[in-house]
Structure formats: structure tokens, C-alpha cells
């Protein structure tokens, strides 16, 4: 019975494991990853608040959150640096699990079933679905773009680094990338809320067995198959 599982493996995160329960719980993120995620998340939120303040006059009032325009101008790039570092620690740990595969193509092709929530029609999935992978890679690439263009526009230290025409392009790209990353951010957050039972993965670190069965069955079976079960709990 267990052979099928043992034949076709998906990738597992280091701490991924099942607690027999009852009720069955599945460990999805360890404390390290969770802290890392929230540092990144908070930085991103602060960045988009401070960024938006300097992006559109109607949002300039947001500078008050940071103690005025001068402070906002000063702090925004530094938060950017924090975000960059913290995100890429996360990246180092998760990128393998986010490499796309055949199932993702099928999943994406049936996006209507995804939105409709008819997951019975979808293929069994590993730890991440194509949507999550898209967010992961999207974030990663945009953060690189933002940090690079951000540095070019960082008057205080890098004002002389590049020519003014280059800086103009940098600022344009920076703002476009910012818009894009905000959209992805929304998608990420919304998906987490809409897919009930997801958020606890980043709070408590675990999801219910049912959540894993419904959304990432292959991942669950794989853990079971490889005996990643703690019977005592």
C-alpha cells in the first residue's frame, strides 16, 4: 500500500512532519521561518507605506507614520535593506520547494477550478501550488529590481554613483516594480485569507490534516509515506 508513495517523491521542508493527534496536525513552518517571514512582511508593509507616501501626493500624509517627510525619506531605504536581507534568508531555504513542475502547469490551466474552489478536479499537489510559487518568484525578482534601482536613487549615499538620466530610469522602474510587488502582496495576503486555515501556518506553524489533504495531498502522503509522523503527539 505504501509503495506508490515511496516511489514518486515530492520535496519536503526540513521541519515538515505530521502529528498524529488527534486531531491530525501537520507542521508546515518552524519558528525560524516564521520569524523570518514576519520580519520580511513587516518590512514590506512599512516600505509600501513609506514608498506610497513619496509616490503619490494623496498618500503623502502617510509620512506622519514615520515622523514626517525627512524621516520617511531617511528610513525607507534602510527598511529596504532589512527586507532584502531577511527575504533572501527565506529564499535560500525555500527556493528548491518552489521549482515548478508538471502538476503546476495542469493546476494553472485549471485556474477556474482553483478560484471556484473545486479542488477535487485538480491534481494532487506538493508543498506549494503554482500560485504560491508565482508569488515566491515574483517577490524574489521584484525585490532584486527594487533594491538595485533603490540604491541608484538613494541620494544621500549614492547620488553621484550613476548619471542623472540613469537615476531617472531607476526611479521609473522602481515605482513600476513597487506597484507590481504591491499587487503580488495583495494576492498573497488575500489567498491566505480566502483559503481558510492557511494563516495558522505562519502563526502556530501547523495546519490541520484536512487542510493538507485538501490543498497539498501529495505533500501529506509523502510525509506519511516517509514516516514523518510523530505518533506520541
Burial of 148-172, coded b for 16+ CB within 10 Å and e otherwise, reads ebbbbbbeeeeeeeeeeeebeebee
- How far apart, in Å, do the first and last CA atoms of the chain sit? 24
Does 199 bind another protein (CB under 8 A)? Our answer is no
State the catalytic residue, choosing from 174, 188, 215, 216. Answer: 188
Beta carbon nearer to another protein, 105 or 172: 172
Number of Cβ within 10 Å of residue 93's Cβ equals 16
What does the alpha-carbon distance between residue 217 and residue 212 come to, in Å, rounded to a whole number?
6
At residue 67, the 3 state secondary structure works out as coil
Q: Which of residues 54-73 bind another protein (CB under 8 A)?
A: 54-58, 60, 63, 68-70, 72-73
Does 221 bind another protein (CB under 8 A)? Our answer is yes
Among 89, 144, 145, 171, binds another protein (CB under 8 A): 171
Q: What angle do CA 49, 188, 100 make, to 5 degrees?
A: 130
Does 110 bind another protein (CB under 8 A)? Our answer is no
Chain residues binding another protein by CB under 8 A are: 1-2, 18, 20-24, 53-58, 60, 63, 68-70, 72-74, 115, 117, 119, 153, 155-156, 159, 164-165, 167-169, 171-172, 175-176, 178-179, 182-183, 186-187, 190, 193-197, 208-214, 220-221, 224-225, 227, 229, 231
Residues known to be catalytic: 188
Amino acid at each position: 500500500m505504501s509503495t506508490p508513495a515511496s516511489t514518486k517523491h515530492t520535496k519536503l521542508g526540513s521541519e515538515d512532519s505530521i502529528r498524529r493527534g488527534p486531531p491530525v496536525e501537520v507542521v508546515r513552518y518552524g519558528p525560524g521561518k516564521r520569524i523570518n517571514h514576519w520580519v520580511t512582511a513587516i518590512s514590506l508593509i512599512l516600505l509600501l507605506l513609506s514608498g506610497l507616501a513619496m509616490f503619490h501626493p494623496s498618500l503623502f500624509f502617510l509620512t506622519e507614520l514615520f515622523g514626517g517627510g525627512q524621516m520617511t525619506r531617511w528610513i525607507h531605504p534602510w527598511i529596504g535593506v532589512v527586507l532584502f536581507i531577511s527575504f533572501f534568508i527565506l529564499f535560500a531555504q525555500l527556493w528548491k520547494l518552489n521549482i515548478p513542475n508538471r502538476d503546476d502547469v495542469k493546476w494553472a490551466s485549471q485556474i477556474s477550478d482553483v478560484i471556484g474552489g473545486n479542488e477535487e478536479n485538480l491534481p494532487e499537489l506538493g508543498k506549494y501550488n503554482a500560485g504560491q510559487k508565482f508569488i515566491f518568484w515574483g517577490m524574489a525578482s521584484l525585490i532584486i529590481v527594487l533594491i538595485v534601482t533603490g540604491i541608484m536613487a538613494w541620494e544621500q549615499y549614492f547620488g553621484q554613483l550613476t548619471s542623472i538620466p540613469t537615476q531617472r530610469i531607476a526611479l521609473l522602474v522602481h515605482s513600476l516594480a513597487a506597484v507590481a510587488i504591491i499587487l503580488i502582496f495583495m494576492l498573497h495576503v488575500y489567498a491566505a485569507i480566502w483559503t481558510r486555515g492557511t494563516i495558522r501556518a505562519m502563526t502556530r506553524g501547523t495546519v490541520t490534516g484536512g487542510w493538507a489533504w485538501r490543498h497539498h495531498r501529495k505533500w501529506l502522503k509523502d510525509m506519511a509515506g516517509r514516516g514523518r509522523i510523530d505518533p506520541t503527539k
